[in-house]
Amino acid sequence: MKYFVISDIHAHYDALVNSLNKYEFNRNDEFHHLLILGDLFDRGKHSKQVLEYVYQLYKDNKATILLGNHDGFLLDFLKGDDSQVMFNAYYNGFDETLYSLSGIKLMSNNMTEIRESINKRYPYLLDWLESFPLYLEIDDYIFVHGGIDGSVKNWKKLLTRRDLTWSYEFELPPVPGKTVVAGHTRIPTIKYKNVNYHKLFKKKPKAFDILYLDNKILIDRFVEVTNELNVLILELDK
């Protein structure tokens, strides 16, 4: 099976489709499978298009999606938790997600109306988000959105959703005998701090490429700057 591994789409539909086309992902090839390491939503303006494209691949058994922290924002909202909505709208572009999916502009007093609209348009969405695994293990690889603390021996039982979707893999001890593939960390931000990333991309686009570390592979290309996704292709037995 050839896995096309991507992450952190953040509602950039054109980047999603163009990147998969560039790397010749073929939804009609029985040996091609798309693996998304979370964060379908927020920041970009096309959550609706990303959702519908990815969901169809999922229904056709052509895609597996892990939960990212931004997917968790939408999951919690659809379950009735409004406590972080305005914060995530201000800092994380969650208002764009809600507008794209509901057609209603976010205000401080219309969250129930927005939730009802999304549930009516996408009655499958809540259950689908709840089905997203926090990690996936295939052969000698572990795929996750954020990171896995390899010093925790029983991490599969002890690490929480927040641990696995919010932590930064490059900061964590490795998992013995495994290679962890993660998103969440915008690759250029590891080496380049407090710079203009748009200018950096023009001067050093390779700074945004897939980063290979000891027992770790990081793939978040910073789509808001590059309008591109890194695509990691792995040929695995399962």
Using CA of residue 94, residue 121, residue 46, residue 223, what is the dihedral sign? positive
Yes or no: say if 224 and 10 are a contact pair by the CB < 8 Å rule: yes
Question: What's the gap between Cα 68 and its chain centre?
Answer: 5
Report the Cα 179 to chain-centroid distance in Å.
19
- Residues 129/68, Cβ–Cβ less than 8 Å: no
Give this prediction's pTM: 0.97
Q: Determine the 3-state secondary structure of 154 from DSSP.
A: coil
Predicted pLDDT at 160:
98
Model pLDDT, residue 237: 82
Kind plus residue range of the DSSP H or E element containing 92:
helix 85-92
Q: Residue 180's beta-bridge partner residues?
A: 142, 216
For residue range 35-55, list pLDDT tens digits in order: 999 999 999 999 999 999 999
53 and 130 in contact (C-beta within 8 Å)?
no
Contacts of 147-152 spanning 24+ positions with Cβ under 8 A: 147/171, 147/172, 147/180, 147/182, 147/184, 147/185, 148/172, 148/175, 148/180, 148/182, 149/173, 150/174, 150/175, 150/176, 150/178, 150/180
Q: Measured between alpha carbons, how far is 185 from 146 in angstroms, rounded to an integer?
A: 7
What pLDDT shows up at residue 91?
A: 95
pLDDT, position 188: 98
Beta bridge partners of 5: 35, 232
- Yes or no: say if 49 and 12 are a contact pair by the CB < 8 Å rule: no
The pLDDT score that the predictor gives to residue 170 is 97
Listed residue (126, 119, 6, 94) closest to 57, CA to CA: 6
- The sign of the torsion formed by the CA atoms of 37, 190, 206, 149 equals negative
CATH 1.50.40.10 for domain 2-235, yes or no, is no
- Identify the segments of the chain with pLDDT beneath 50: none
**How does strand 179-182 pair with strand 141-144?**
parallel
Q: Degrees (nearest 5) of the Cα angle 89, 94, 97?
A: 145
Tokens 């980063």, residue located? 211
> What pLDDT, on the 0 to 100 scale, is given for residue 162?
98
Give the span between the Cα atoms of 207 and 204, in whole angstroms: 6
